[in-house]
Structure formats: structure tokens, C-alpha cells
Amino acid sequence: MNQEIQNTLEILNKGGLILYPTDTVWGIGCDATNEEAIKKVYELKKRDDSKALISLVSDIRMLQKYVYEIPDAAFDIVELADRPTTIIYDRPINVAKNLIPEDNTLAIRVASDEFCQKLIRQFKRPIISTSANISGMPTPKSFSEIAKEILKGVDYVVNLHREKTNSRPSSIIKIGNDATVKIIRK
């Protein structure tokens, strides 16, 4: 695992794209603070850049560096959720401008996967996590279902957990700074 983290860090630090196993499905990732890298993700996925992307952080402490104000309910959800849960926060900070949609929000998940946590902790910045598919196509349930176009379009494919099957993306909840909570995806 340590060698895979080093290989992946090298690519992320150069503004490259990675294909990696997450706590949910296989994801395309890059540095969430690098506008050029984020453009490459949108191009690879053939996705409209007005559609939001999810970012992963290693822990609550890191989360606090990228959201202006974290609502109290978010702390409980992160701690008590029994499956990976992405929260959409108001007023993100310190990330690439082209990652923030017009409504000034950002979807962030505290990663629960060991590889992701170690990678992000060593990278010291959030990374993008978007499903490894062309926009509009089904999300791959396993590594073997990832399209060749995606495999060829990234700069590095992590060589871990390729046998893992996971068809369930994270839950998504929007928590406004006014304490409103809305379930986007169960």
C-alpha cells in the first residue's frame, strides 16, 4: 500500500488524474485545489462543468480548512453515519474556483477507506472523487467494468482492491448554515 500511495502522490503533485478505489465505488481523482486538473476530470468524463464534483478529506480537522462554517449537525452525521455519507456544505474555501458551483456549495466526504485516508493525509489537500464513468453512463460496480476510455484517460491507476465490488455510491445530504437538512441521495 505504501508504494501505491507514493506513486499516486507523485501524479497528484504534478496535477495528474488518478483512478483509485474509494470507500464507495472506483473514482477518478485529482487535487481539489488545482483548476487545471479539475478541468481534465470534466473533459475525461465529458461532463458539464456546472455539475458538482465530490471532494474527499481525511478527517474533520482537514474538513475545517475547506468549509467556512461547519453546521453542528454535520459533526454528528460524520461521526454516526453507518455508511459513507457526503455532505454538501455552504461557503467552501481554499479549493479551486472551478470546483465551486454557482450556489457556492461543495460536496465533501470524510473518507473511511484506509488507502484514501492515508493518501489524503500525506497529500495534505482534498482530492476529487467522481465515479469512474463517462457522464450519463452507468457507474461501474467493479474495476473490470471501467471503460477503456477512462483507463486510458488517467495518468495512474492504483493497483489495489481491483477485485472489490461495490455498487453503492455514498449517501448525499445537504446541510445549510441555516440548519436546514435535505437528503439528496439515500
Closest CA to 63 of 94, 34, 35: 94
| β-strand partners of 83 | none
pTM: 0.93
119-143: pLDDT as tens digits: 999 999 999 999 999 999 999 988 9
pLDDT tier, 181 (very low <50, low <70, confident <90, very high otherwise) = confident
pLDDT (0 to 100) of residue 41? 97
Q: Are 158 and 8 in contact (CB under 8 A)?
A: yes
pLDDT (0 to 100) of residue 65? 97
In degrees, rounded to 5, the angle at the alpha carbon of residue 59 between the alpha carbons of residues 54 and 62 is 80
Give 126: exposed, middle or buried? Use CB within 10 Å, 0-12, 13-18, 19+: buried
19-72: pLDDT as tens digits: 999 988 999 999 999 999 999 999 999 988 778 899 999 999 999 999 999 999
pLDDT (0 to 100) of residue 117? 95
Q: What is the DSSP string of 85-100?
A: EEEEEESB-SS-GGGS
Q: Are 40 and 34 in contact (CB under 8 A)?
A: no
Give 27: exposed, middle or buried? Use CB within 10 Å, 0-12, 13-18, 19+: buried
pLDDT tier, 167 (very low <50, low <70, confident <90, very high otherwise) = low
In the chain, count of helices (H) and strands (E)? 6, 9
pLDDT tier, 168 (very low <50, low <70, confident <90, very high otherwise) = confident
CATH classification number, 2-185, choose in 3.30.1310.10, 3.90.870.10, 1.10.275.30, 3.30.390.50: 3.90.870.10
pLDDT over 90 (residue 147): yes
Compute the radius of gyration of the chain from its Cα atoms.
15
107-117: pLDDT as tens digits: 999 999 899 99
Per the prediction, the chain carries an average pLDDT of 93
pLDDT (0 to 100) of residue 178? 83
